[in-house]
Amino acid sequence: MIDGTWEPRPATRWEDAFLSGNGHHGAMVYGDPADDRVIVNHHTLVRPNGSEGVRPPELADRLGRLQDALLSGDTTAAEEFGAGRPLAWVQPFHPAFQTRVRRSRGLHEAVAGYRREVDFTTGEVSASYEAWRSRVFVSRADDVIVQHITDLGLTADLVLDHGLPGAPAHLAVGRSTVLTPDGAKMALRVGYPGSDLTYTGVTVATVDGGKVSVAGEGIRVEGARSLTLATRVRRGVGHLDLGALWAALPDGDYATLLGRHQPLHREAFGRTTLTLRDAVQDRELPGSELLGSPRSPALLELLFAAGRYHLLSSSGLLPPRLTGLWTGDWDTAWSGAFTTNANLNLQIASAATADLPKVTEAHAALVHGQLGHWQDNARAIFGARGIVAPSHTDGESGHTRHYQRAYPLHLWTAGADWLLQPLLEHAEVTSGATDARLTAALVEAALFYEDFLTREDPDGRIAIVPSYSPENRPANASWGTVNATMDIAAARHALTTAADRASGHPSAGRWRELAARLPDYLVNKDGALAEWAWPGLEETYDHRHLSHLYPVWPLDEINPYDTPRQAAAAHRALELRGSENDSAHGHLHHALIAARLRDPSRVSAALDAVLAGDFFHDSLMSAHYPARNVYNADAAHALPAAVIESLVQSTPARLVLLPAVPGICPAGELRGIRTRFGAGLDLSWSDRGATAVLHPTREARVDVRPGDGLVLVETGADNPEAPLVLTAGVDRVLTLRPR
C-alpha cells in the first residue's frame, strides 16, 4: 500500500494503535474484536499543574550587570540570572478517555483472516475478522469521532473509560446515561484535582436492531446488527450543558458522515505524492514487517505518506505537539508540549513545500495567539519592546517559565525569528507577500533587537549578550554566554526581513544599520563554522541540536552558490557533529542541513540511522529514541521534509534539482511540490536523468541549479544556464541528463 498500512493483528499497546485526527480531535484505534478500544484525544486537554499562571521572571534590572560580567570573561555569570525559581513545566497534555466495546466472544491474538488497516487518503481506520468489522474516522466536516461496528454477536457492553495509564488518583468523575428509542446518550465528566476546569466527553450510540439497557457504568447492546458511535470532547469550567452537547452532535448514519468528511481530507492529503521505482515488490507487506527492511524503498515511500498523513491529521486548532495529537498515557514525556527550539519547526518543515497549508495555519494560530505573552517575556527579562518566544508551551501560555542551570531556556532570544520563518516560507510559496498580521509580528521581532543590541565587542561590533545555543554549551564555559551563532543569524534575519517587509517603518533604516554591525560568523581551528563567534569559547561537537547551522537551514544565508567558503565551513561543522543520544530530531535535522550542502552520503546516513534504528511503532508514529523509546512525532513528521530537501530546494530566486539524492531512492517521482517562487513542481528522476515540470502561479526569474553529475539541457530558452523566466499559467519543462 502506498497510501496506507495494515497489520495482521490488533494493537496491544497504545503506541501501536492506528491514528486518525482532524487537527482538533484525535483517535487511537486498537481494532480488537473482543475489546474494541478507541482512545479519544483533543488538542485542548492539558492538565492544570500550577504553572498556568506563571509569568516570566522580572530580571531586566539585573541584565546590565550580567552583560558586564560575561563580556569581562566570567563564563559562569549567567547561572545566577534567574536562579532560585522552581522549575515549572508547562501543563501536561493527556488523553480524555477510551470508548470500549466489549464482547462475550472475540479475538485475542493474530489469526488468519484478521486485518487492521488505515487509509491515509480518507483518514479511516478499519479492522475486520470474519463477519465483524469496525470502522473509525475523525470528521473534518463535523468535528466528531465516528465509529461503526457490525456483527456485534450476542452481547456487547459499551463504556466511556477514563482509567488510562497515569491518570491522577483524585480526578472527579461523573457519568450520565440516557436511553433513547434507537440507542443511548452517554456522557463522562472529569474534573481536575484542585481546579475548576473540567472536560466532558459525550457519545451518542445508535443501534440497528436489538435491545439496549443500562449496565454498570455504561450500556449493554443485545442482538444488534450494528452500532454507530459519535463522540466529542469539550473543555471548560464547571459542568457543561449535556443536553446542548448531545444536541450539537451531527445527525446522519456512518456513510453520510463519512461522505461529508472524505472530500475534505482526500483533497488535502492528496496534493503531494512520492513513488519510488523499486518499491513495488514490498508495497503490500504489513507495516511492521516492512519496518524490518530498512533499506527497502517501499519503507521510505510508506513513511513519507504516513508522515504527511499524521502531520495533516494532528494540525488544525494547533500545530503538532511532541506527540502529534495523540497519547494514551497521562504521564507524557516533556509534558507533551510544543518544544519550540528545534522540534516544532522540524515537524512542520514540509508544510509549505508539501502543500499542507492547514499545518501552517495551525502554526500561525499558535504564534499569533501568544504574541502578547512574548511581549511580556521581552519586557520582563530583557527590558525591551518586541517579542521573545519561549522554548516550551502547552498551547495556552506563551510565557517563559523554564529555568535550569543546564537549560537556561529563558536566555534564548532567537525563538521569535525561528518560529516566524515557517510563516515567511508559506507567504513565499503562496502570494509572495506577507499579510498585515505577519508583517506586524516581524516588526515586533525587529523592535526587540533594536532595544536589546546595545553592547559592543572590543572592535566596535555588536555583541549579543547573554546568548544561548539550544541546548548546548561551550566545552569551557557555561550555557549562557556571548554570540551564539544561531542568535547572530536570527538577529540579522529578523532585522533585514522586517526592514524589507515593512520598509516604511520609521525604524527600518536603524534595523539595517544594526544588521550591518552584527558580528561575522567564526570559523574555528578545525575549519568548522563555530557554534559561538566569541574568542576563547571551545566547541562541544557531540550534541543532538544543530542550532548554529540555522544560517544553512532553513535561512539559506549560507549556501554553496553565494557563500561557498562559509558553506565549506558549515559542512565541516556537520562532519564533526556527533549524534549524542541518538534523538530522532537530531538525525533528521542533520539530513536537512546535509541536503542544503549537497551531501547525499550524509543525507543517506542520517536517513539510515532513523530507518534502521527501530524508531517506528506499528502505527508508523515514531519514537524519540531508538528501540521505540518515548512516543514522539519528530521522526514521523520531519522525514518527508528531509526527503523533499534532498530532491528539490527553492528560494524566491533559485531552484535546485536533485542536490542530494539518498541511495535508497535512486529513481522515482515526486509530484505536487510547491516552490518559494510561486510555482508547483512535478519531478521524475532516474540514473538516466530527470524531468521537472513547473506550473507557475506568478511571474518569476529563477536561477536553476542541477545536482552534482547532472547538466541542464533544456529549459525552453536558448541558454540553459541563463535565469529561467516564468510566466503565470505557462508550464515549463526542464530536462537534466548525466554530465
Q: Is the pLDDT of residue 567 over 60?
A: yes
Distances (CA, A) of 120 to 42, 287, 313, 597, 615: 20, 13, 10, 32, 20
Q: Is the pLDDT of residue 683 over 80?
A: yes
Is CATH 3.40.50.1980 the right assignment for the domain spanning 4-46+92-266? no
**pLDDT for 2:** 87
Summarised one tens digit per residue, pLDDT across range 509-547 is 999 999 999 999 999 999 999 999 999 999 999 999 999
Buried/exposed 145-177: b ≥16 CB within 10 Å, e otherwise: bbbbbbbbbebbbbbbbbebeebeeeeeeeeeb
Q: Which residue(s) pair with 28 in the sheet? A: 19, 39
Q: What is the DSSP letter of 577?
A: -
Three-state DSSP at 515 gives helix
Please report which confidence band the pLDDT of residue 461 belongs to, taking 50, 70 and 90 as the band edges.
Answer: very high
- Report field, pTM of the whole predicted structure over 0.75: yes
Q: Is the pLDDT of residue 714 over 90?
A: no
Can you tell me the distance from the alpha carbon of 286 to that of 277, in angstroms, rounded to the nearest whole number?
19
CB 267 within 8 A of CB 241: no
Cell numbers 478517555 correspond to: 97
Gyration radius of the chain over CA positions: 27
**Residue 226 is inside which H or E element, if any?**
strand 226-237
**Residue 397: burial class (beta carbons within 10 Å; 0-12, 13-18, 19+):** buried
Average pLDDT of the residues of the chain: 95
From the options 3.20.20.300, 1.20.120.160, 2.30.40.10, 1.50.10.10, give the CATH code of 60-91+295-641: 1.50.10.10
What angle is formed at CA 124 by the lines to CA 665 and CA 266, rounded to 5 degrees? Answer: 65
Q: Is the pLDDT of residue 72 over 60?
A: yes
Summarised one tens digit per residue, pLDDT across range 309-344 is 999 999 999 999 999 999 999 999 999 999 999 999
Better-scored residue on pLDDT, 107 or 58: 58
CB 631 within 8 A of CB 618: no
- Residue 111, C-alpha cell as written in the block: 489469526
Three-state DSSP at 612 gives coil
- Residue 99, C-alpha cell as written in the block: 470508548
Q: For the chain, which residues make up each domain, given as ranges?
A: 4-46+92-266, 60-91+295-641
Better-scored residue on pLDDT, 574 or 110: 574
Can you tell me the distance from the alpha carbon of 582 to that of 589, in angstroms, rounded to the nearest whole number?
12
Q: Pick the closest to residue 349 from 413, 426, 297, 268 (CA basis).
A: 426
Three-state DSSP at 567 gives helix
Summarised one tens digit per residue, pLDDT across range 397-413 is 999 987 777 889 999 99
Can you tell me the distance from the alpha carbon of 522 to that of 502, in angstroms, rounded to the nearest whole number?
30
Summarised one tens digit per residue, pLDDT across range 359-384 is 999 999 999 999 999 999 999 999 99
- Residue 371, C-alpha cell as written in the block: 504574541
Q: Is the pLDDT of residue 84 over 90?
A: no
Can you tell me the distance from the alpha carbon of 50 to that of 459, in angstroms, rounded to the nearest whole number?
47
What angle is formed at CA 63 by the lines to CA 61 and CA 66, rounded to 5 degrees? Answer: 130
**Residue 148 is inside which H or E element, if any?**
strand 145-150
**pLDDT for 110:** 53
Buried/exposed 303-336: b ≥16 CB within 10 Å, e otherwise: bbbbbbbbbbbbbbbbbbbbbbbbbbbbebbbbb
Q: Is the pLDDT of residue 717 over 70?
A: no
List, in order, residues 6 or more apart from 463 with CB less than 8 Å away: 71, 455, 456, 457, 482, 483, 519, 534
Angle of helix 634-647 relative to helix 600-611, nearest 10 degrees? 160
Q: What percent of the chain is predicted at pLDDT more than 70?
A: 98
Can you tell me the distance from the alpha carbon of 218 to that of 672, in angstroms, rounded to the nearest whole number?
47
Q: Which residue(s) pair with 227 in the sheet? A: 149, 207
**Residue 257 is inside which H or E element, if any?**
helix 254-269
Q: Pick the closest to residue 620 from 269, 120, 277 (CA basis).
A: 120
Q: What is the DSSP letter of 414?
A: -
Summarised one tens digit per residue, pLDDT across range 187-231 is 999 999 999 999 999 999 999 988 999 999 999 999 999 999 999
Query: Average pLDDT in the 623-633 region?
Result: 98
Q: Which residue(s) pair with 595 in the sheet? A: none
Q: Is the pLDDT of residue 91 over 90?
A: yes
**pLDDT for 716:** 55
Q: Is the pLDDT of residue 107 over 60?
A: no
List, in order, residues 6 or more apart from 331 with CB less than 8 Å away: 92, 165, 166
Peptide bond into 471 cis (omega under 30): yes
List, in order, residues 6 or more apart from 68 with CB less than 8 Å away: none
Query: Average pLDDT in the 476-489 region?
Result: 97
Phi, psi of 85 (to 5 degrees): -80, 135
Q: Which residue(s) pair with 131 in the sheet? A: none
Distances (CA, A) of 545 to 395, 548, 636: 23, 9, 18
- The pairing of beta strand 273-276 with beta strand 668-674: antiparallel
- The pairing of beta strand 668-674 with beta strand 392-393: unpaired
**Residue 641 is inside which H or E element, if any?**
helix 634-647
Q: Is the pLDDT of residue 728 over 60?
A: yes
Phi, psi of 725 (to 5 degrees): -100, 120
Q: What percent of the chain is predicted at pLDDT more than 90?
A: 91
Phi, psi of 337 (to 5 degrees): -80, 180
Query: Average pLDDT in the 567-576 region?
Result: 98
Q: Is the pLDDT of residue 173 over 90?
A: yes
**pLDDT for 715:** 64
